[in-house]
Amino acid sequence: MTRTLVVAALIAMASSAQADEPLAQWNFNSVPSDGSTSTGTTMPVIGSGTAALVGGTTATFASGDASGGSSDPSSGDDSGWNVTTFAAQGSGDKSRGVQFNVSTAGYRDIVVTWDQRHSNTAARDVLFQYTTDGSTWIDAGSFAASAGDAWFNGRTVDLSTVAAVEDNAEFGFRVVATFAPGTMSYAASNPSSTYGTTGTWRFDMVTVSAMPIPEPGTYALMAAGLLAVGFFARRRVG
Ligand SMILES: [Ca+2]
Ligand SMILES: [Ca+2]
């Protein structure tokens, strides 16, 4: 085997040992299942973390299957977190929505995905913010609904190039309503509707994916492997 092939094999081994995995996930479905979409939980179904309302929003649980549905494979007792009581028109830009806190200690390559239903009168424009210290919020992604009464599944913010969110017990993110770009007012999700504070955003399958940071021993093994490859390559040449 050539040195290049051995190095490639070692890298492949290292990569396959660190597949991206869900560090935390919320599906908002009752545990145990109770046959009612108007009941659910804000406890994560995978991993640990907290879900909270931000800025004065309120929430109930409602169907994750209706209006086309989220990507939650559950059906029947499939709930979403139904958030309302948004800011009055022209006020509270970036102030109301939801917040999730998940420690990324021991993990890197953080990617956040979620499904989100917009009601007709809910804010069209969505801002994703993250924190690395629990108090300062950094804008990192924006989304706009193209319709109302519709789910937008798989919204994704890839933070894998942001070193500060890795291995950080203070990591958290928010999804908040924001003014239409270049204006001082909210646009409605349905272009034929008027923005209203009682519009709803419904969340499902909120997921933080990450890769485990290799233990120091893994690096040592890889280094030893690479050294051995170099040693044998040199012996062959010599
Ligand atoms: Ca339920
Ligand atoms: Ca669900």
pLDDT digits (tens, 9 = 90+) for 21-78: 899 999 999 999 999 999 999 999 999 999 999 999 999 999 999 999 999 999 899 9
Q: Assess whether 13 and 116 both reside in one domain.
A: no
Q: Distance from the CA of 123 to the center of ligand 1, in angstroms? A: 26
Q: Assess whether 29 and 9 both reside in one domain.
A: no
pLDDT score at 233 = 58
Q: Assess whether 95 and 178 both reside in one domain.
A: yes
Q: Assess whether 85 and 188 both reside in one domain.
A: yes
Q: Assess whether 44 and 134 both reside in one domain.
A: yes
Domain count within the chain = 2
Q: Assess whether 68 and 149 both reside in one domain.
A: yes
Q: Assess whether 110 and 221 both reside in one domain.
A: no
When the pLDDT of each residue in the chain is averaged and rounded to a whole number, the result is 90
Has residue 165 got a pLDDT over 90?
A: yes
Distance separating alpha carbons of residues 93 and 87, to the nearest angstrom = 8
Q: Assess whether 137 and 208 both reside in one domain.
A: yes
Q: Distance from the CA of 80 to the center of ligand 2, in angstroms? A: 5
Which ligand neighbours the alpha carbon of 38 most closely?
1
CATH code of residue 154: 2.60.120.260
Q: Distance from the CA of 206 to the center of ligand 2, in angstroms? A: 9
Neighbours of 191 (CB within 10 A): 12
Has residue 157 got a pLDDT over 70?
A: yes
Q: Distance from the CA of 81 to the center of ligand 2, in angstroms? A: 8
User: What global pTM score does this model have?
Assistant: 0.85
Q: Distance from the CA of 43 to the center of ligand 1, in angstroms? A: 13
Q: Distance from the CA of 98 to the center of ligand 1, in angstroms? A: 20
Q: Assess whether 167 and 223 both reside in one domain.
A: no
Q: Assess whether 155 and 49 both reside in one domain.
A: yes
pLDDT score at 38 = 98
Q: Distance from the CA of 185 to the center of ligand 2, in angstroms? A: 31
pLDDT band at 218 (very low <50, low <70, confident <90, very high): low
Task: Summarize pLDDT for 98-123 with one digit per residue, the tens.
Answer: 999 999 999 999 999 999 999 999 99
pLDDT band at 143 (very low <50, low <70, confident <90, very high): very high
Q: Assess whether 4 and 109 both reside in one domain.
A: no
Q: Assess whether 10 and 69 both reside in one domain.
A: no
* Structural domain of 228: 1-17+214-238
Q: Where are the beta strands (DSSP E) in the chain?
A: 21-26, 50-54, 58-63, 79-84, 97-101, 107-118, 125-131, 138-144, 150-158, 172-177, 201-212
